[in-house]
Amino acid sequence: MVPLLVMLFEAHDLPKAHILHLAVGTGMVSILFTSLSSMRAHAARGVVRWDLALALTPGILVGGLLGSAITAWISTQVFASLFTVVVFFAATNILVDRKPKPTRQLRGRWGRWRWAW
């Protein structure tokens, strides 16, 4: 979605220094609404672990705010490079069909704040 948004924003002659930030932000907003819709549908079926959702929420909020603050201070070139690395690793995980072990234990309270890599 982000590359498509970049092309769309370039076609509308938006400032080049802001295009990637706008594209990623717009993509994140669409993920927010998609996630809320999915959560609502899963909750209607009674399959949401609210204890885990509530435990993960502070980390998600802090991570989102910190990520926004950091990207506001880095150059578009650095941001594009970081974005490319993240997409590369995500695509590689999909390509090699990397999945967590089904028998793994949930992390402790503070362990949920760490990266899940």
Q: What tens digit of pLDDT does each residue of 14-51 get? A: 998 889 989 998 998 999 899 999 999 999 999 998 98
**Residue 49 is encoded by which pair of tokens?**
């672990």
DSSP per-residue codes, 31-78: HHHHHHHHHHHHHHTT---HHHHHHHHHHHHHHHHHHHHHHHHS-HHH
75 vs 95, which has greater pLDDT?
Answer: 95
Cβ–Cβ under 8 Å, residues 24 and 83: yes
Per-residue pLDDT at 102 exceeds 50: yes
Instruction: Give the pTM.
Output: 0.69
